Chain A
C-alpha cells in the first residue's frame, strides 16, 4: 500500500495567516493527489483534485501544488470557516489511502 504522511499533524494559526500543509507519498504518485477538508461531525469536502485543480465552488484562497511524492496545500489567508482538519489522499493505486490528517485550530 502507498503510505501518505502529512505534516504537521496539527497547527495553530490566526485569521489572515498563510498556512501550508505538506503531504508525502511513500512512492511516486504523479499528480494523483486530492485534498479534503473536514469539520467536526461533518462529512469531508473535496477542495483540490489532481494535485492542483480547485474543485468547483471552493474559494480561491485554497491552492495545491506538487507532483511525484511531495505535495502542498496552501491557504493564502486563513478565514474563520477554515479551522478544520485537512486530509490528503492518493488516487494512484488501490487502496486509496489517506494521510493521517492535519488539524488547523485557532491560535
Chain B
C-alpha cells in the first residue's frame, strides 16, 4: 500500500542538527512532491518546505530559511529533512506528507511522525 515511513525519535542538544528520513513505498517516488510539517507539543501544524523528488527543487518557509535542508534520494525513494542549530523550541513532531498534486495540492499520505526533543 501507499505509505511513508519515517525514522525514529531523536534527542538532541541545543545547537546540534537532526536529520529525519521519510521512505516512500507503493507509488512512484518521483511523481509527487514531499512536504515537511512541524507540530510543537499541543500546538498546530506548521509548513516547513517541500521537495520535488524528480528535479530536486526545493522551497522553504521563510521562518526556516538557512536552517533547514530537504533532500531526496531517488535510488531508495527516501526524502530527508535536516534542521540545524536546534533550539529548545524546535522540540516537535515532524511529519512528511505526499502532495496529491494536480490542482488541489492537498497532502493525501502522511508519515507517522518523528518526535525530536531538544534538551540540554
| Interfacial residues, chain A to chain B (CB-CB below 8 A) | 32, 34, 36, 38, 43-46, 49-50, 53, 55, 87, 89, 91, 94-101
Contacts and interface: CB of A to CB of B under 8 A. Distances in A.
A96 B110 contact: no
B47 A97 contact: yes
Contacts of B53: none
Contacts of A34: 104, 106-107
Per DSSP, are chain A's interface residues mostly helix, strand or loop, or mixed?
A: loop
Pairs of residues from A and B, 10 with the lowest C-beta to C-beta distance, nearest first:
A49-B106, A43-B110, A34-B106, A91-B105, A50-B104, A49-B104, A98-B45, A95-B61, A96-B47, A101-B44
B95 A43 contact: yes
Contacts of B72: none
Contact of A44 (B100, B105, B110): B110
A100 B46 CA distance: 9
